[in-house]
Homo-oligomer: A and B are copies of this chain.
Amino acid sequence: MEASSDIFPRFTELFRTTFGLDEAEYTRLLACFHRRLLPKKAYYLTAGDVTRGKAYLNKGCTRTYVVEESGKEHVLFFSFEDWWVGDFQSYHTLQPGTQYVQALEDCELFWISRDDFTRLAAEIPKLQAWDQVKGRKSMFATLNRLSEVKTMNAEERYLNLIEKHPAINQRISLQDIAAFLDIEPQSLSRMRKRLSER
């Protein structure tokens, strides 16, 4: 991709300011990224795919879910602008993944192949350090989600979700939020009504 920081200010900020890449490093990095458009409902990944790159979500939102044997879907995460999507385990092991990543809105992704990223990270230590920090942060988030799923009831988890993402009800359907909370859509509907009457 070519540099044009007015189009993706957060992306530029992430690598220039937060990670302190100089202009030459940033230009080299940017040259390895590819812009990919993912229309609403299209899949970035399905179970069985190998994750061969990192994808920065510049616009839109996605849901990452797994499917139980009976066919029921369980949403693990929603991702929004400035997040990275993909099956982390598959990326590192190159084994087929277990996750589905589907666009819930028209999405714009900036994609870099694992090979290009690995090569650049070996040349630019700041990228390597960033990758490690990011890996840790997603580990914390996953651990916190596991604690949350185990210790909180659906209403507490719903309140947590809207506290973190106040606009989520405008962007994500009742069905998907219910699949994130592992409850039936009707129960979520009743819960919303009850909470709005408080």
Contact = CB atoms under 8 A, between A and B. Distances in A.
A18 interface: no
B140 A143 contact: no
Contacts of A69: 151
B138 A182 contact: no
Contact of A147 (B72, B76, B132): B76
A74 B151 CA distance: 7
A139 interface: yes
Interface string A125-150: 00000001001101110111111011
B135 A68 contact: no
A76 B149 CA distance: 11
Nearest to A138: B139
B149 A89 contact: no
Contact of A68 (B68, B72, B74, B151): B151
A135 B139 CA distance: 8
Given A68-B151, A136-B135, A151-B68, A146 B76 contact: yes
A31 interface: no
Interface in A64-102: 66-69, 72, 74, 76, 88-89, 92-93, 98
Contact of A66 (B66, B67, B92, B147): B147
A88 B139 contact: yes
A146 B140 CA distance: 13
Given A92-B136, A135-B135, A139-B138, A149 B150 contact: yes
A145 to B, nearest CB: 6
A124 interface: no
Contacts of A143: 76, 88-89, 142
- A72, A138, A143 — which one has the most chain B CB atoms within 10 A of its CB? A143
